[in-house]
Every structure is written in structure tokens, then in C-alpha cells.
Structure 1
Amino acid sequence: MMEKYHPIPWRKCEDLNKYAVATNVPVWLGGKKVIADRVVKTCCPHNCYDTCGELVYIKDEKVIKIEGNPDHPITKGHLCLKGFANVEKINSPDRVKYPMLRVGERGEGKFKRITWDEAMDWMVEKITAIQEKYGSEAVMEYCYSGNREHMAKAVSARLWNLMGASKLVGSFCLLSGATGSFCSVGSQYTMDPAIWSEHCDTVFLVGRNCSATNPHIYPFLYRAKERGAKLIVVDPYATGVASKADLHLRPRPGTDGAMALGMIHWIIKNNLQDKEFIEKHTVGFDELAKLVEEWTPEHTEEITTIPKEQIIEAAELLATTKSHFETGYGQQRYSNGHQVQRALACLAAVCGSFGKESGNYNCISGMGFPNVTGFAHWSNVTSPEGAEIKQTRLINIAAIATAIHEAKEPPIKGIISFRGGLISQQPNVDYTIEAVKSLDMFVTIEQFMTDDTDYADLVLPACHYLEQYGLHPSYWHNYNQVLVPVCQPPYECVPDIEIFEELGRRLGYEKYFPRERTGLDYIRMLIGEECDVDAAVSPNGPVRNPEKWCPEVPYKDGQFDTPSGKVELYSSVMEERGKKFQGEFCPVPKFFEPAESIRATPELAKKYPLNVISQHPAFRTHSQYYNLPWIKEIEGPAKVFMSKDDAAERGIKDGDMVRIFNDRGELKNIIAKVGIRVKPGVIELSSGMWVKLGGSVNKLTGMYPAGPRDILCEGGIMKEYHPLMDGNTGSYFNTLVDIQKM
């Protein structure tokens, strides 16, 4: 018997044919000719660098084919496996189809179907009860990068600001490095790869597994190498891009900062620094030079395990050629991540790699826009005119579970979660599950029945990104394509912005959520008049972001957005914060051991001697796609990569089933892959595995927010927010474990 799906009176519906690039287009599928009703231009908003341009084919309001947009200036018609797999994902019969209310215990995954009106009434009742008993700060949202599109985040923030709810700050992956960049450079721009690939002599690639997360950089790397440029890759294990390197540096996990300081030492000792750039465009060189005096090649090798000859070779290449810096996220996922990124920025400055076509320092961009939030007019949406917006409690996103367990005035009692896996993606899964169980209200907006839904009180059916509006600027290149709905949502799925609009109306904020406002209206509010939205909407686009937001050659004018207007090798911002909070905010990029390591915690390392790194696989974005049959068939069962030495010591052979464990948890039935991919003392697991489908690596990781956490963050609560100091990132990689054969 077919399920009946109910109309939703407050849902916005419109004719989507206006976005067609072409209509009545023949397509060959499975050897048969099919006529697609329309083709729509959009882009992929998942959390990777490339933001690929897509052409989506629709028939009878269903996606039948996805291919790359050949006219996109950067991605040029090529998609990854995940992009193609969206055909299966959006059409999956396993999607959440309607609102469901829990009827069993949390964790049992037992629900009953309810209507949208009942779901809205239930949320209003729960939120109101929590507000009356504890206050509005007892409620908060959890939202991250399942769909990295930013418009819905702004609309939801509008509601939370009106309510006075607690707010999330920080990041799982990038703001530790952003803190390092902001304190050194004052901004975060990226130079388009088409420029540096034609002019640089050396590419320095740190902490970025391009094969899985940034595949469209390859043509630009190959172009640079064709011209004779050298490629230096820094990564503890042998990635695909490392196999293309002229020099592969494999540091002990968490010691990239020490490596950078060692290179700076050698450059200064041998008088190889860019004296003109340092004199005109930096402050604090003497303090930096004093800091690196101890970082001889021998000492650097001792700390990093990189042979001193390789450290010297890399330092001389960077200092004596036109070098370009591409830094990723890997080096940020340690408790010392902010200082690592500062050290890399200082290394680039010593080499003079700023403001030149032949080389620049690319961290992460400002999402293609001019400030840390990513948008010129973010507050137009989040802080509506005429409303009283109060500064409320700030929760560190990488320590939500700690905040739920420890916050008292008021306690956290209600969470609405969307676009993120609170349970599978937070460090220390078991600790997080216990925190979620203590809530009075846990609502998830999901496409599938995930780890989160099993513990939810209410599950709401989410739209696929192809079914809703959005804006997702790349954090690697500077081209933008507005996301539009290519087809109508199926079942009773509702776009995220419409869920929060309707909830806001029912909570009494009708005038701030007018029914006539569209997704494109919100996008125009976010980016203002500086960017032509219509030019980026299908059938148009993509467009390059305005030059004043994304300079073609960043820092070409020699101006930096720091208090001094220069690259701050000695950070005045860090100095000021250190004085205020009476803590060690190290104005120079001093090296600290990761929170867990063989040197920082030697007794723990005797018990758990292996450092686990959880890389992002090419097959999924965090936990997304893990449940799809196409992906599972290609990816196969969960694997752990380990060295021959570590395997032999434990009697483990390639293909054996193993158990990985520490005091926080364990993973079982993982297949050992023994070889040279990782160095001794290191193992590699892919991130994003579901707890209920084999076990998440975050059953092993600890609650160690990276950044100035000891001073600015206590019990998961931020004492104060500073736009340049929001450096609290999940430090997933400083995790010690052991392995045994099952």
C-alpha cells in the first residue's frame, strides 16, 4: 500500500523551469534514450575545497543525471565520485519522508509518524517550556557543514538571535588555522590557481590530502611542474599527491610547527631571507629570529623525525625560488593548531611569499567574501533591524558535550540540529551520547536515519541541496554559483530556511519572517549590492567575486589587515589578549607538543603508543554518503593503515581483523592494511564512519579544542568572543591508541 503524503500549507512552491539552461534534452541512461524536462546549473555545497560546477538533468521532478559544468573556470566539467553519487542519494528510498516523534527510549530508534503541524506545535511547546524554566540560553542549535551553504545558517541565526538562545562559535576544522592567519596577516585570501601555477617555481603543500578533498588542484600542480616547478608535500602519510612530490616531508603528527621553525632557523642562519620584504612589510623579525635560535636542523629532526637534510633542502628551495604556499586543514587538527598556522605564515613572510603572482600564502579564503563570517552583510539577516539583539552565551562547537555536561546557569536543555552529525562528528562519541541523553529536547533535521536520529525526540525530513536555495562560496577559488532548487522536494521534505521561518512565526516573530520573502531575497540581503546575484543564478553563472573582496593577487599593494598594516611575526593581537587574560598567548609562534603525544604524555604513550590520524576519504564528506550502496560497494569495509614494523610487533598481517582502542572507547572488526603508507608509530583511519554501521573514529578521540582554549574557553563555554581569536577547533589528530589482532 502506497504511503500518502500530506500537503504543507505554509510551504513555498514556485515554477522551477525559469532556472533551466535547456529543456527537452536527450540523455542516454542505461543504453536508453530519455528526454530530460530541463537541465539546471548549480554547484556542490559540500565541505571540500572545490565547490564543483554541476549540470543537473530533471525528468518528472526527479534527478536522472548529474555531470560537471564544462564552463566552470576552475572545475571545468569534472566531478568526484560523491558528485555523481548524488543521483542515488537524492532518489534513495531510505530518505526520511515525514516528521517522526520518538516513542521508545533514546538510542532505540523507535518513532511514530506525525504531521508537520504537530511537529511545529511540539517544538513550540518544548522550547517555550525550557525558556520558562531555565531561560532562552538553555536552547541552542547545532549546525555545521553537512551542507556548507550559508544562507540557512543565517536564517536560523536570525531566529536564535531573536530568542536570545546560546550560540555556537569555533570550528571543527579551520578556525584554529584562521586564528593563526588573522593574527599574522589580518585576513585570509586565496590567489586563483591559474595565476600561481603559471609563475611559481616551488609549491609548498601542507596538510592537504588533495586526492580526496581538492582534486581539481591537480591540473594546476601539473601545469606548474610542466614549467619546471618543484612540489614539496608535508604529510605524515603517503597520500596520492605526495606520490607526485619532488620532496615529501613526513613529520611526526602534530609537529608541523616545529618543522616550520626549523626552516626559518636555517634560512636566517644562512642569510637567505627576503630582506626587502621583511624590512618593508613585517614587524617582529628580531623576536622571531630569537625564537628560532634553538631550532637547529638536528633539534628539528629530533622533534619532527624529518631527516635534517630534507629540512635544509626544503628551506633552501622555499627561500631561493619563487615559492607559493598552499596550506590545508590537517596541521590544524591538533591542540597546537593555531601556532602551527602562525609558524607557516611566518615562514612564508621570511621567504617573501606575499603579494606576488609567483607566490602567495593561501590559507583558507574568507569563503569568497571579505570577512570571517563570509559575507559582507551577514548581520542583515542574522540581526534584523528594529529587533533587540543581546549578546548571549557562546558555546565552543568542538566542546558541546562538555558544555551540556557542565553548564549550570542555565544548563543546556534543548538542541535543534541540522546539517551536521552531532554524535558521529563530535570528539569522544560515548561522552557525547551521554550528554545528548540528558537533554529535554533534541530535534534533528535529516535526510536519513543517522546516528543522531536514533537519539532524537523529533526527526524532521530534510531537503537535499538540489531541492533548495543556497549560497556556498568556495574556500579555495574565487568563483560563485548560487544554488537554486532544481526539482521540487519529494515526500514531506521541507527546505531548512522554511522550517526556521515557520518555527519563528509560531514563536511570535512573524514580522521578521515575512511569507513573501524568497531564498534569493535572503541571498541579496547577505551579499548586498556589491555582487550581482542574478548573474550567478542558473541559467547564468558562475561569476567571479568582486575584486575588492577577492583580489586577483592578494596583498599586491603591500597592505595587510593587521593593527600594524604589516605581517606580524610578533602578533600585537596575541600580546593584547595575553595581557587581558593573563595567559600565554605567545605573540611569536612558539611550538607546543600536542595534547597527547609520545613527548607530552609519555606514560599514556607507553599504554597507547600509536597516533591515529583520521583523514577524509574520497568516498564521502564526513559521514555523508557512508550509507549509500554505490559508495559502500566501491569503498568496501572499514580499514586501518599501519606500518610493517608496528604490525609485526603485534603479530598482525595484512587483511587481519583488528581492534583499535584506548581509554575512551574501541572500534572492532577493522581490516588491517599493512604497508608503507604510514610511518611507524602512526595509523590512519578514515573519518565519517557511522557509529551504528561499524563505529566512528571519534569513539577514540578526545575533547581537546585547539587554539587558546585554556584561557578563553572553560567547560565548553567561551568567556569572551574576539573575531581574531575564535580559534577553537576540534583537535582530532592528537589521539593515542593501540591495536590488537582479534
Structure 2
Amino acid sequence: MAIERSRGGGQAIRAITSLPALVGAWRHVGGGTMEMPIWEFPTLFDKICMPEWIPEGTRVVNELDLGMALTGEMELDPPIKSLFVYNSNPVSQGPAQAKTMAGLLREDLFTVVSDHFVTDTARFADLVLPATMQAEQLDIMVTWGHLYISLNQPAIAPPGEAVPNSELFRRLARTMGFTDDYWDRTDEQMLRDFHDWEAPALQGITYDSLKETGWARLNVGLPHERAPHAEGNFPTPSGKCEFRSSLAEGGNFVVPVWRSMYDRMQPGDPLDPLPDYVPPFESPGSNPELAKRYPLNIVSPKPHAFLNSQYANAADKQDVQGDQRVWIHPEDAADRGIAEGEIVRVFNDRGSFAGPAVVADIVMQGLVMANVGHWQNKASGSTVNTITLDRHNQLGNAGVYSDNLVEVEKVVGSALAAEPVAGS
């Protein structure tokens, strides 16, 4: 997650994941690398997304480009006139925060947000719809780090008019005149249809058995013996671990599962099929002229007490995480006359945010750190992503949250003692 967040991040990941093949470690238990093991689950993404329903020529807008798309910087004809936001908080989590906010303020844009709370994004909505929480809805859970399939059964009935996303889309489809029987199924029927229950990974596991046990480990080999690529069997066109990627020879692309299985209108810009070093967009080495004005790099890792921006409005989580802080090396702080706890402003041409300084050598000289996920705070009304560049890394079109130059200055006449940081 951290490595991808710069211009060369995708290629860096390719280089790192090539190492186990280079030394033959793939043959051994624990000898490879692991991302989220979503691909081990026999999920029928085509049945979920129905890409055949997407008309030829349908435009694709990366969510990270929302600000450009809404403000007209991205040429769209016709422009986007309606926006439905669910499971997302782009004002907080997306790049170019000020640009996104400006786009959401358009008078001719109709915005609907489905959420639990009035988030930074929901504040711009024309209509806010109440969403169910996880304990109130039926779901089969996708894992980020283990090989267990879990059935999430409702523990309580949803309050008021709260409904899950699936029901929102059913109602929207009926209102818009879609009559396919896809929309007549219950959530349980959908979960049964969206998984290949005959796949080897689910041998002996059924939807009904999950209703009894709640969870089950996929049949993909025990931890002490699992070596899925001992004989090759890589999910590439050649079936081999490709140092020279045959897919990358066709240009930059986003894995279809991240774009509703729609494989058309891929970015397609030139891409080296061999993993190679790609310099950052913004660093003193790659952009010395910009670094004269903004000499510090910034990283914005996820916070410990929040999940992205979730829980950032909960008092108990705020007590653990504290306010938006800015970590800065003592020598960089001394050069700028900044003392512990003083309010500082972090800025570049894209915007600025503020918070109390934490002067510590846990960040190296030339680097500052501020966690992403905070809601727009009292100190500046903006958060770290106001300074983030709205470009993409060279492979996969992910965001470049750790590829930004900034300057830091003391806000004269303001001081706020930084609260203790948990674990420090």
C-alpha cells in the first residue's frame, strides 16, 4: 500500500515481486510475496458487475481524477451532471482536495451520498441517504490478509430507512426502468449466484454450511505446506512469472476487477514491460526547480485509530489518534524556527493545511509526515490531501500520495500543545 504511492510505485512492486522468482524462492513454503489474497476466492466478478451491460464507448473516469472531471480540467462532453457516492469519502481520501471541493460546489451538479454520517463529502450532497452498517446487512466478506471465507449475517435490524447498497441499486434500477431479473433477487440469492460453490477452493463449503459455522478456511493448502507456485501456475498469459510482462507491453492498464470488469478504454500510455526505476514527479533530485520553493517531501500514511477516514468522527478514536499533526525532523524544525506543539502550515501550489508540530527524529531530515484520514479540522479547515498531486503512478494508475513537495512554516501567534501520541 505504501510502495505504490509514487510515480514509480507500480514498477517498484514489480521489481520486488520478481525477486522470489529470480532466486527460486517461489518453490518453497513462505518463499514469495502476498498482497490481499482476493484472487484465491472463487468470486464471479463478471456476475456481480455484468460488464456486458456497459454500452460501447462508455467513458471511464478514475475516482482519483474526480476534481479534474468536475471542474472541467478534464474535457468531458457532456460534463458529469450527477454523482452517486457510496463506500467512499473522496474529499478526505482523494488527491487535490480543494479542486474536488470546487467541483462539488457546481450548481448544475446533483450529488447523492449514501453514508452513516455527514462526512466531508456528504457536506456537499444535495441528498444524503442512510446506509446500513455492517452489523445490519447480509454479506460475504472479502479478506485483506487471510484465507477464510466469512458470512456476515445481520445482528440487528437496520434503523429507520437505512438500506444496504444492493437495495439502493435495486430501487434505482426499477425507477430507471431496468427490468432484468438480476434486480429481483434477494441479497441471499445474489450471494449464492456470485460465488462458484463448485470450485476446489470451496470443496465441502456451502452457503448453508456458512450459515451454521459463520466461517471456513478455503481449501487451498495448509499454512505449513502451501506453495501454490511450486510448479509455476502463475495467473499470466504465459503461465510463468514474467520478468518481461506481456500485459505491460500493451501499455498502462488497471486490473478490470477495479473498474467493474470493464476492460475497454484502458489508459494505454507507454509502459516499460521490464521493471525499471521511474523517478518521482516531485523530489529535490527529479525536480530541483520546484524544490527551491518546496524543499520537503511529505508522506501521509494511514492512521492507527481510523480505517481510512472511518471512525475519525468518533470521540474515543479521536482520543487515541489526536488531532492532525505534522511530524518534522528537529533540524528542519530549527531551520524554520518551529518548536514542539506550535501550529504550522504545510503548503504548496495546490493548497495548505495546518496542525501542531511534532518535532522528532522518527522522520528523516527533508521529510515531513501527516496522517491521512482526519476530517477537515479546526486548525485550517483542510487536511493533508489538499497538497496532493492529482496524477497517477506509471503502472496501475494508483494515486501518488507520497510523491509531493511542500514547505512548512510556523503560524505566527498560534500555539497548541501536541497531545501525547499513543505508543510514543
| TM-score under structure 2 length normalisation | 0.84
State the 1:644 CA deviation. 1.2
Query: Which residue among 525, 537, 545 is the counterpart of 2:210?
Result: 537
CA distance in 2, matches of 1:500, 1:689: 29
Query: Which residue among 334, 341, 347 is the counterpart of 2:6?
Result: 334
Residue 171 of structure 2 is matched in structure 1 by 502
Change beyond 3 A, Cα 1:511–1:737: same
Question: Which structure 1 residue ranges, 4+ long, deviate > 4 Å from structure 2?
Answer: 580-583
Unaligned stretches of 5+ in structure 1? Answer: 1-328, 709-726
- Answer whether contact 1:368 1:474 (CA < 8 A) is retained: no
Residue 155 of structure 2 is matched in structure 1 by 486
CA distance in 1, matches of 2:346, 2:153: 43
CA distance in 2, matches of 1:584, 1:360: 28
- Answer whether contact 1:417 1:445 (CA < 8 A) is retained: yes
Query: Which residue among 82, 87, 111 is the counterpart of 1:414?
Result: 82
CA distance in 2, matches of 1:610, 1:539: 55
Query: Which residue among 342, 350, 353 is the counterpart of 2:22?
Result: 350
CA distance in 2, matches of 1:362, 1:623: 25
Does residue 390 in structure 1 map to residue 55 in structure 2? yes
Aligned residues: 385
CA distance in 1, matches of 2:400, 2:206: 37
Residue 552 of structure 1 is matched in structure 2 by 226
Residues 31-82 of structure 1, C-alpha deviations (whole Å, 9 max, x = no match):
xxxxxxxxxxxxxxxxxxxxxxxxxxxxxxxxxxxxxxxxxxxxxxxxxxxx
State the 1:545 CA deviation. 2.3
Residue 165 of structure 1 is matched in structure 2 by none
Query: Which residue among 226, 236, 241 is the counterpart of 1:562?
Result: 236
SS in 1 for 2:152: coil
SS in 1 for 2:326: strand
Query: Which residue among 24, 41, 48 is the counterpart of 1:381?
Result: 48
Identity %: 32
Equivalent AA in structure 2 for residue 702 of structure 1: L
Residues 143-154 of structure 1: pairs in structure 2 closer than 5 A: none
Change beyond 3 A, Cα 1:512–1:692: farther
CA distance in 2, matches of 1:588, 1:353: 20
Does residue 443 in structure 1 map to residue 130 in structure 2? no
Residue 612 of structure 1 is matched in structure 2 by 298
Residue 276 of structure 2 is matched in structure 1 by 590
Residue 253 of structure 1 is matched in structure 2 by none
Does residue 429 in structure 1 map to residue 97 in structure 2? yes
State the 1:418 CA deviation. 0.5
Residues 286-301 of structure 1: pairs in structure 2 closer than 5 A: none
CA distance in 1, matches of 2:318, 2:181: 44
State the 1:623 CA deviation. 0.9
State the 1:485 CA deviation. 1.2
What root-mean-square deviation, in Å, do the aligned CA atoms of Structure 1 and Structure 2 show? 2.4
Residue 372 of structure 2 is matched in structure 1 by 687
State the 1:733 CA deviation. 0.7
State the 1:604 CA deviation. 0.9
SS in 2 for 1:333: coil
CA distance in 2, matches of 1:520, 1:463: 16
Change beyond 3 A, Cα 1:346–1:403: same
SS in 2 for 1:475: coil
Larger radius of gyration: 1
**Structure 1 or 2: more helix by fraction:** 1
Does residue 461 in structure 1 map to residue 130 in structure 2? yes
SS in 2 for 1:459: strand
Equivalent AA in structure 1 for residue 393 of structure 2: A
Change beyond 3 A, Cα 1:340–1:414: same
CA distance in 2, matches of 1:403, 1:537: 43
CA distance in 1, matches of 2:11, 2:25: 19
SS in 2 for 1:492: coil
Change beyond 3 A, Cα 1:473–1:368: farther
Does residue 637 in structure 1 map to residue 323 in structure 2? yes
Change beyond 3 A, Cα 1:496–1:571: closer
Change beyond 3 A, Cα 1:389–1:654: closer
Change beyond 3 A, Cα 1:570–1:672: same
SS in 2 for 1:444: strand
Residues 673-699 of structure 1, C-alpha deviations (whole Å, 9 max, x = no match):
111211001111111111255532111
- Answer whether contact 1:367 1:474 (CA < 8 A) is retained: no
SS in 1 for 2:37: coil
Residues 211-226 of structure 1: pairs in structure 2 closer than 5 A: none
Change beyond 3 A, Cα 1:574–1:382: closer
Change beyond 3 A, Cα 1:612–1:581: closer
